[in-house]
Amino acid sequence: MLNNIEFKVLLVYPNPRKMSLVPGSLALFSALLKNEGVKVDIFDASLYKQKDFEDPDEYLEKNLTVKPFLKNYSKKVKFESENPVEAFRQKVQNFEPDLLAVTCVESTFAYAISLLKSIQNKKILTILGGVFATFSPEYALSYNEIDIVCIGDGERALVELVNKLRNGHDYSNISNLFIKKNGDIIKNKIGHLTSLDDLPIGDFEIFNDKRFYRAMAGKIYKMVPVETHRGCPNNCAFCNSPLQNKMYKKETGQQYFRAKSIHNVYREIKYFVDKFQAEYIFFWADNFFAYPVKVIEEFCEMYSEYKLPFFCQSYPVNINEKKLQLLSKVGLKRLSVGIEHGNETFRKKVINRNYKNETVIKKLAIVSNYDIELSVNNIIGFPDETPDLVMDTIELNRAVNPHTASCSVFSPFRGTYLRELCIKKGYLKDKNALSESNDVKSILEMPQFKKDQIEGKRRTFEFYIRFPKKRWKEIAIAENLSPGGDKVWKKLSKEYSETYI
């Protein structure tokens, strides 16, 4: 129901430049608020260069994880040269919002606070949402810049908050919100989940058109995200999804992991094609292959109208011939699969992934039967891991032989079982430490696997996978973070780029 009282909300996305696709959550918030007659604008930091953040795409290209594309990208997309903090201040001054709605992850929380500090004299009510806020609400509220934190899904809570604010009503009892009041924190219970099919199509027109261009296999496409699932049914110890599932089950009796109907997926695809002339689609789900075959068949029948190239993610054991056969016919061009670790015992005991390497090899071998690029994800630097265990991950990658393989450094994110293990074992000295992106160095202090050793394995990971084993002694030298090691690393990098990329 529309309300004639003017109210302005500024959405704030403190995101490193070019990192990730446009956030569907903010597009949803914009659509929901505009349906209520609220004026909405956005500050998207992705368009600016931040001096304290290494550009994630530059990092990936430099570390040989992706095909070179930055020259083509810079020709297509020109980014803002203005200081992001000054640009944010100017946006706030011009728009004069009644509420700031900030979403961030753990690695961007400090950046969010730095932006908010720049306008603290304006004393604008500020709500923080996202997975970091969900699992560290009291820590977030310990900052003067944050007034309210949203736990879990925020669509219903944000709309209710805005309507109560603009009507001058008490907002202290809204589900999902933790609210600072008179030195205390009001902790409201989690409300029932909203069906994904009851949500509107997001207002993606709020984003600058430059944000839709992304690289894929060295080429630049106008790429859009289409949410098909929310949450994940798996229980990986490095991820916060298990605790999210547990939280909602306990508070509401509902299962957090849920899927959108194919009909509504179609509506979003049509919107992106008609409004944005989309060229490539990312189906936004932790495990797209969690769809049963019957639903995959329904999806393919629907998507055959478009057949735009797309990529998605899958858990290894969910892959099968039938699903790949169906999806390859309608445009699946890239499949990202999380291997994460190659030692079966360690993977089961520490990471809570219980499957055999033989299963992974057989499942991923099916992908080679189709014109689909296989990308596998790996993590090193887990608590209790050793350099020798990393070599098991390398051996599994060699057996799988993917088109591309990423190697991330483990980050002990809040809301994960492994963060608690790191604290218990003394690997994380500061319990309040903020984990950075998986693209940076380890923050753990482990006697059996030191930070420099982790970085050495990370920077040579691709070499170990691609070069013949007779070169491994040479590659081992490149692990050393020393002038001699750097010299060998540069030599191998040049050879790798010329031979394998």
> How many whole angstroms separate alpha carbon 214 and alpha carbon 212?
6
CA dist 99 → 10, 32, 120 (Å): 6, 15, 13
The residues, any chain, with a CB within 8 Å of residue 391's CB and separated by 6 or more, are 464
Whether the CB-CB separation of 353 and 235 falls below 8 Å is answered with no
- 44: pLDDT strictly greater than 80: yes
- 193: pLDDT strictly greater than 60: yes
Supply the pLDDT for residue 474.
98
Supply the pLDDT for residue 61.
58
The 10 Å CB-count burial string (b at 16+, else e) for 338-375 is bbbbbbbebbeebbbbeeebeebeebbebbeebebbbb
Assign 268 a pLDDT band (cuts: 50, 70, 90). Answer: very high
Supply the pLDDT for residue 312.
97
> How many whole angstroms separate alpha carbon 45 and alpha carbon 43?
6
> How many whole angstroms separate alpha carbon 179 and alpha carbon 188?
8
Point out which residues pair with 492 in neighbouring strands. none
Whether the CB-CB separation of 222 and 213 falls below 8 Å is answered with yes
Domain architecture of the chain: domains with CATH: 8-64+80-187 (3.40.50.280), 208-466 (3.80.30.20)
Supply the pLDDT for residue 73.
58
Whether the CB-CB separation of 10 and 45 falls below 8 Å is answered with no
- DSSP summary character for residue 48: B
Which segments of 300-372 are extended strands (E)?
A: 310-314, 332-340
Give residue-wise pLDDT tens across range 272-324: 999 999 999 999 999 999 999 999 999 999 999 999 999 999 999 999 999 99
Supply the pLDDT for residue 64.
61
Average pLDDT over residues 257-271: 97
> How many whole angstroms separate alpha carbon 339 and alpha carbon 498?
26
Average pLDDT over residues 76-105: 91
Q: How much is the mean pLDDT over the chain?
A: 93
Supply the pLDDT for residue 52.
61
- 72: pLDDT strictly greater than 70: no
Point out which residues pair with 226 in neighbouring strands. 283
Q: What percent of the chain has pLDDT over 70?
A: 93
Supply the pLDDT for residue 219.
86
Point out which residues pair with 99 in neighbouring strands. 9, 125
Q: pTM score, two decimals?
A: 0.93
Q: What is the 3-state secondary structure (H, E, C) of 304-315?
A: CCCCCCEEEEEC
The residues, any chain, with a CB within 8 Å of residue 319's CB and separated by 6 or more, are 289, 335, 337, 363, 364, 366, 367
Give residue-wise pLDDT tens across range 473-501: 999 999 999 999 999 999 999 999 999 87
- DSSP summary character for residue 202: P
- 65: pLDDT strictly greater than 60: no
- The maximal CA–CA distance of the chain, rounded, in angstroms, is 74
**C-alpha torsion sign, points 103, 105, 106, 108:** negative
Whether the CB-CB separation of 367 and 406 falls below 8 Å is answered with no
Give residue-wise pLDDT tens across range 341-369: 999 999 999 999 999 999 999 999 999 99
Supply the pLDDT for residue 174.
98
Q: What is the 3-state secondary structure (H, E, C) of 123-142?
A: CCEEEEECHHHHHCHHHHHC
β-strand 125-129 against 280-284: which pairing, if any? Answer: unpaired
- 18: pLDDT strictly greater than 90: no
Supply the pLDDT for residue 440.
75
Supply the pLDDT for residue 1.
45
Assign 36 a pLDDT band (cuts: 50, 70, 90). Answer: very high
Whether the CB-CB separation of 443 and 379 falls below 8 Å is answered with no
> How many whole angstroms separate alpha carbon 263 and alpha carbon 286?
20
Supply the pLDDT for residue 50.
73
Whether the CB-CB separation of 379 and 333 falls below 8 Å is answered with no
- 370: pLDDT strictly greater than 70: yes
> How many whole angstroms separate alpha carbon 323 and alpha carbon 320?
6
For residue 413, which amino acid is it?
F
Average pLDDT over residues 414-434: 96
CA dist 334 → 201, 226, 409, 420 (Å): 25, 15, 23, 34
> How many whole angstroms separate alpha carbon 110 and alpha carbon 116?
10
Supply the pLDDT for residue 439.
63
- 399: pLDDT strictly greater than 90: yes
- 437: pLDDT strictly greater than 90: no
